[in-house]
Amino acid sequence: MSQWMADVSERNYLSAEKLANKFMSELARCLQQIQQEARDQGNRQGMGNEAMWKLEQLRSINDRIKLRRHGPAVQMDIHHLLLTPERKFYSVDMVPTIQISGRNGENEYYVAKPIKGASNAQNAWRRSFSLHEKKRLVTLDQGNGCRKQILRILKVMRHRDTTLAPLTSYHLKTVMFRKTDELTDSTLWRSECMGRRLMDVIAQMEKELDRGVMPHYFLSDANLLDGLGRDAVFNLQHRLKKLIHSKDKMMKLLQ
């Protein structure tokens, strides 16, 4: 426990920022240790080709894996061979999380995510519902529905239209979850209904933007639009309204 005391403030608050930095330092130390141990290990007689290949990979692991802070997460970029370091193989985001037993007996999870501009930003923690969201997404399209496809289409629209860029994947998922709760009949989400359901989700989003309130799916008192400026919210609402009332504009964006 003493190793974490440096991350506690004078008022006994656990610093989210310091813990995230320590998490990244521990990951870097582990990579260096793995690489050093592999380099210290000689080539043993009788070692097969596969074992030799794995050992060679470990000997350069700290050179091929790069760490960097990415919001509350530590992003681990895994690259191809040393001869082509610019070629990234894949990336993994890892977020330090604290598990606390809730009042109802279920575990609650909090991530080290400092709030920008807050006076106590270093001590800020946010509750994470990622496990709940993952479970919801896994079962979202039971019965061959089109909800996940609609989410993909919305992400494509956001990527192609710079006006929609402020919308995060979390905004899109939240509105989709809410519309799914409203339209509970699974037959309404069949593939042949995808066009109508897409417009329903966009209309729901436009309505919430017009009100200036997009409630968090799990914490209804939290407004997901609070982080956006008034101008950004107005521009988003105005753009979605145009898309709803113009088939040509919608088709142009989707083509």
Question: How far is residue 86's CA from residue 79's CA, in Å, rounded to a whole number?
Answer: 7
CB neighbour list of residue 152: distance below 8 Å, 6 or more residues apart = none
**What is the pLDDT at residue 50?**
76
Give rounded-to-5 percent helix, strand, coil for the chain.
Answer: 55, 15, 30
So what's the pLDDT on residue 46?
60
pLDDT tens-place string over residues 32-50: 888 888 777 766 656 677 7
What's 129-254's CATH class? mainly alpha
What pLDDT score was predicted for residue 2?
42
Strand, helix or coil at 67?
A: strand
With a cut of 50, list the residues of the chain below it in pLDDT.
Answer: 1-2, 4-5, 83, 117-121
CA distance 20 to 112: 6
Query: What pLDDT does 116 receive?
Result: 52
β-strand partners of 75? 68, 93
**Which pLDDT score is estimated for 98?**
85
Q: What residues does CATH 1.10.1410.40 cover in the chain?
A: 129-254
pLDDT in tens, 144-165: 789 999 999 999 999 999 999 9
Predicted pLDDT of residue 214: 94
Distance in angstroms (rounded) separating the CA atoms of residues 251 and 255: 6
pLDDT at 197: 94
pLDDT at residue 182, as a whole number: 94
Structure token digits, residue 89? 């193989």
Residue 119 is predicted with a pLDDT of 47
Residue 215's pLDDT is 93
